[in-house]
């Protein structure tokens, strides 16, 4: 895990972020500092307690879509790829491969739950479907 982290003004200088209480904002920064190189945080409740925040602050970050929780207790910071970039020689893959497999990165660089791809219907075979007038 890197010792330095960054935060994008495109994420934290928004009304959606600034409308949260200072304790929730502080928790976001603390979680960002503890994230691994893919943005996963293994003990968000412990970090919240250490930062003087409470479970309501964590729930607010989840509700406002700043973090995505998993059943395992791990969270991922939604805007991780917007906030942070690492050189390939410094990157260490997350150990939370199961959780990461449930995510995709959208066009703006945010984590989203699911594949992020819309299913497409592909015609198979040579039979054409009739057109409806």
User: If pLDDT is split at 50, 70 and 90, which confidence band does 114 have?
Assistant: confident
Distance CA 57, CA 29 (A): 12
- The per-residue pLDDT for 37 is 93
User: If pLDDT is split at 50, 70 and 90, which confidence band does 25 have?
Assistant: very high
Q: Which of 107, 49, 103 is nearest to 77 (CA)?
A: 103
């Amino acid at each position: 895990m890197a010792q330095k982290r960054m935060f994008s003004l495109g994420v934290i200088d928004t009304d959606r972020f600034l409308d949260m209480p200072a304790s929730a904002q502080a928790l976001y920064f603390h979680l960002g500092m503890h994230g691994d190189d893919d943005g996963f945080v293994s003990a968000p409740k412990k970090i919240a307690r250490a930062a003087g925040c409470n479970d309501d602050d964590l729930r607010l970050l989840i509700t406002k879509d700043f973090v995505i929780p998993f059943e395992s207790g791990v969270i991922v910071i939604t805007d991780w790829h917007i906030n942070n970039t690492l050189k390939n020689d410094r990157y260490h893959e997350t150990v939370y491969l199961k959780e990461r497999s449930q995510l995709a990165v959208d066009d703006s660089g945010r984590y989203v739950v699911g594949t992020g791809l819309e299913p497409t219907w592909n015609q198979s075979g040579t039979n054409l479907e009739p057109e409806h007038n």
